[in-house]
Amino acid sequence: MKTLLSERELSEGVDRLSRAIADRWDSRPMTIVGVLTGCIVFLADLIRRLDVPLRVYLVQASSYRNGTTRGELTIDVDLGPEVQGRDVLLIDDIFDTGHTLVRVLAELKKYRPASIHSAVLLYKEGRQEVDFEPEFIAFRIPNRFVVGYGLDYRDEYRNLPYLAVLEPEDLNPRAGAGDGADG
Ligand code: 5GP
Ligand code: MG
């Protein structure tokens, strides 16, 4: 496994991102909606750098993947009064094809938020299949499969404090390990 972004680089990137968000946000209360499960580490670090009144909700988006290939996407958004009339910041770990964020955005818009913006830790260059760009991006990365800092491979590696690129030798299927729904 090769480190792509060190713990320190990640921390500096989240610092910059939180300043960019704060610069464009007045004192309105913020309603953060995080996309599980990959957002957890980024979300925890980001909210502690935001000095505005905020609430946090989580939605589940899972693609039943076979390791590194994208599968069928299911999303479970069960928010109504939490979002209606509020200024929402949608948070995800990585913007890859973009389908996940676009689908979650569409679901949230049904609840008629006052405004909705999105922030991602990572943006994978050259992969997008949608006509939408997140407003806030911490890092642009090459088209490689990455793990750590919340991102998984078959549900593992989320706890790495840095971001790493999986090498082919890391991709050996483990005996008995089933394909997991992740996100
Ligand atoms: P999209 O719908 O934008 O193609 O994919 C977004 C989701 O796919 C992310 O939230 C993440 O769960 C997963 N994903 C995309 N690229 C990667 C990657 O390089 N590593 C990991 N671990 N997950 C990824
Ligand atoms: Mg995800």
Per the CB < 8 A criterion, the answer to whether 28 and 87 are in contact is: yes
Task: Report the pLDDT value the prediction gives residue 72, as an integer from 0 to 100.
Answer: 74
Under DSSP, is residue 10 helix (H, G, I), strand (E, B) or coil?
A: helix
Sign, CA dihedral 17-18-20-25, equals positive
Domains of the chain by start residue, with CATH: 2-170 (3.40.50.2020)
Q: Which ligand is nearest to the CA of 151?
A: 1
Q: What is the rounded distance in angstroms from the CA atom of residue 179 to the CA atom of residue 153?
A: 10
**Distance in Å, CA 97 to ligand 1 centroid:** 8
Residues 6+ apart with CB under 8 A from 56: 32, 34, 43, 47
Task: Report the pLDDT value the prediction gives residue 75, as an integer from 0 to 100.
Answer: 78
- Residue tagged 């490689």 (tokens): 144
Out of 40, 100, 125, 127, mutate this one to test ligand 1's pocket (max ligand atoms within 8 Å of CB): namely 100
Q: Which candidate in 45, 96, 152, 182 is catalytic?
A: 96
For the stretch 98-118, pLDDT in tens is 999 999 999 999 999 999 999
Q: What is the rounded distance in angstroms from the CA atom of residue 43 to the CA atom of residue 50?
A: 11
Q: What is the rounded distance in angstroms from the CA atom of residue 102 to the CA atom of residue 95?
A: 10
Per the CB < 8 A criterion, the answer to whether 147 and 153 are in contact is: yes
Q: Ligand 1: which atom is nearest the Cα of residue 129?
A: 4
Q: Is the pLDDT of residue 175 over 50?
A: no
Out of 70, 96, 102, 157, mutate this one to test ligand 1's pocket (max ligand atoms within 8 Å of CB): namely 96
Per the CB < 8 A criterion, the answer to whether 124 and 99 are in contact is: no
Ligand 2 is a single-atom ion; what residues have CB below 5 A from it? 38, 183
Q: Ligand 1: which atom is nearest the Cα of residue 93?
A: 10
Looking at per-residue pLDDT, the higher value among 67 and 164 belongs to 164
Under DSSP, is residue 64 helix (H, G, I), strand (E, B) or coil?
A: strand
Task: Report the pLDDT value the prediction gives residue 125, as an integer from 0 to 100.
Answer: 96
Q: Is the pLDDT of residue 178 over 50?
A: no
**Distance in Å, CA 57 to ligand 2 centroid:** 15
Q: Is 96 labeled as catalytic in the residue annotation?
A: yes
